[in-house]
Structure 1
């Protein structure tokens, strides 16, 4: 990554503002750039991968994947804390952070998270069972 781009990204991250804002881009262009609020899941998925690549977070090696897995676990812990405290803002933030960390982990392991999701849905879509105490139990596990 070139030095200028890296500097813009670091400044934007530090001040929690879009790079476009720091660069003084025209309002129309900033609005176009900030369309993230209306992006599809697939567009967000690609944007997150690009964001992680821009920050050299995806290296597709075991050490990086293990570090990213630790981040996934950390985010799930924060989600649990949010649910226990009934903190809607924390829950929403933790769910989003969990998705981001899973997308990055999948990319690090050379998987596409959307492919993983499609694959598992094909397995569960016709699954039968019932919910017991708020947890879905597969039909095959009901008879054990």
Structure 2
């Protein structure tokens, strides 16, 4: 638990240093979430565990940034203690998509966090935890993988989107 807390703080600081919190919009960040979720779905379709692990971590990173951008008071720490459910990958993908639609609607119409927004974050992460569990992974290991990949990443903001240096 302490390691996940530290990773969340690191992600928030990383995002602040790259001007992602105030220099980007939740709408742009949501598009990034969809990009990462697409990679997750591709990894699942191709049964590529390394892509699945990285993509779950990347989705988590984006949700941490969205949480900060929207001033949500969502508390990530109870997540590792949720009871896992073996409903199957297809169900968890479907439930993620439903929650993403709800998050998108709230971002586009209110732009502000509320109790229901926090519930959407929680349920989305619950789905990601269950997906990771299906592949013998933990949320923490997925987030650690993503953090190790981005921690030294440099880049710049272009039209409200952080573009990594290697893509410039």
Range class of TM-score, shorter chain: 0.5 to 0.7
Pair 1:128–1:95, CA change in 2 (3 A): same
Q: What is the TM-score with the length of structure 1 in the denominator?
A: 0.57
Task: Select the residue among 80, 103, 117 that pairs with 1:46.
Answer: 80
Structure possessing the higher radius of gyration over alpha carbons = 1
Runs of 4+ in 1 over 6 A off after TM superposition: none
Aligned: 1:125 with 2:140? no
Counterpart-to-counterpart distance in 2, 1:40 and 1:88: 15
Tell which has more relative contact order, 1 or 2 (C-alpha 8 A, sep 6+).
Answer: 2
Counterpart-to-counterpart distance in 2, 1:111 and 1:47: 15
Matches within 5 A, 1:49-128: 51-52=83-84, 57-58=85-86, 64-86=88-110, 88-89=113-114, 90-128=116-154
Q: Identify unmatched segments of 5+ residues in structure 1.
A: 1-38
2:95 counterpart SS class: helix
Alignment RMSD (CA, Å): 2.0
Counterpart-to-counterpart distance in 2, 1:40 and 1:65: 22
Q: Identify unmatched segments of 5+ residues in structure 2.
A: 1-74
